[in-house]
Amino acid sequence: MTNHYPIGPIMLDVAGLSLQAHERDILNHPNTGAVILFARNYDNPEQLIKLIQDIRSARNGDILIAVDQEGGRVQRFQNGFTRLPPAAAYIDKPELAEQAGWLMAAELLAVGVDFSFAPVLDVDCGISQVIGNRSFATDPALATQLASLFRKGMKSAGMAATGKHFPGHGAVAVDSHLALPIDERELTDIIAKDIVPFKQLIAEGLEAIMPAHVVYAKVDTNPAGFSAFWIQEMLRKQLNFNGTVFSDDLSMEGAASAGSYLDRAKRAQAAGCDMLLVCNNPTAAAEVVEQLPVTNDAARTARLQAMQGKSAFNWPDLLANPHWQQTSSLIKQTFNLC
């Protein structure tokens, strides 16, 4: 197919290991721009390669393929992929953070995935169980250093990085998948600690950011992902971020206060999100895709195009590559991961 539609503003998911006939139609809607894959979509690398090829062929235009492949608790593809440790493991092995970033990215790119939603830039405050060891460190400077190295590895493999969850999810106990967390800290405290990794990686060229479904009550009454202050004022103007802004999943309970799914999508888009995630609810995804007004935004399209992966290997070539073999073995042995 020749390219026709630009990358649309909605990221959705698919049901299983292979593409269903009815899913092809929604993938070819002008508003669709990306598919996020989950563990239920994965059995083995060959099956995944076929699924991704089918997703791409269903669309008359470009489409992005994403996954959460941080390592530790959050690694959707495991069998056949190198098991990665949680981000906090690199505190004792900082020299391996960059190599792990390369390894994660190289494996995903080789099967046709454009990017993983990584690295986590939240600073762990010993409060948030949903973040916990997904954070690189409790110290902002160390978290920044390790996340920067991990991103450097991703970039060298050909993958754009997404820092999450802006401006920081590490200081609230509530899981935003299940409820709406409220962070009562002053803006000065958030800037002095949580925003440090975001500020530095933005200066280094970070390609994308995902805001948190968290209300920072002393700053704004809206969750960050629905907040023009956090996205347009703080992120775009004060931090000079010019990359892509992904909403966090609009199906999460932390987003429910924004209204219906269509209302959530409209509010996130109005606040400044380039791409809107609607996951694990096909009915809601179809509603948003079909009812959100179709808009052409050249700047948004350019930002989303920058998220396209640039793989140096197909899967068989990667497995035969000595650098991959050595790095995969090193990570598995160092962290005792099978």
Torsional sign, CA 60, 108, 51, 261: negative
Whether the Cβ atoms of residue 43 and residue 13 lie closer than 8 Å to each other = no
First to last CA, the chain: 41
CA dist 229 and 237 (Å) reads 10
CA dist 127 and 18 (Å) reads 39
Identify the CA nearest to 68 among candidates 134, 140, 20, 129: 134
CA dist 133 and 40 (Å) reads 24
Residues facing 210 on adjacent strands: 164
Instruction: Give the CA-trace dihedral at 223, 216, 248, 257, to 10 degrees.
Output: -30
Query: Any idea which residue has 């450097």 for tokens?
Result: 152
Identify the CA nearest to 209 among candidates 198, 220, 193, 195: 198
Whether the Cβ atoms of residue 243 and residue 207 lie closer than 8 Å to each other = yes
CA dist 130 and 232 (Å) reads 27
CA dist 193 and 200 (Å) reads 12
Write phi, then psi, for 209 (nearest 5 degrees). Answer: -140, 145
Q: Crossing angle for the helix pair 140-157 and 97-111, nearest 10 degrees?
A: 40
CA dist 265 and 320 (Å) reads 44
List residues with catalytic annotation.
177, 248
Amino acid at residue number 25? D
Structure tokens at 255: 């987003």
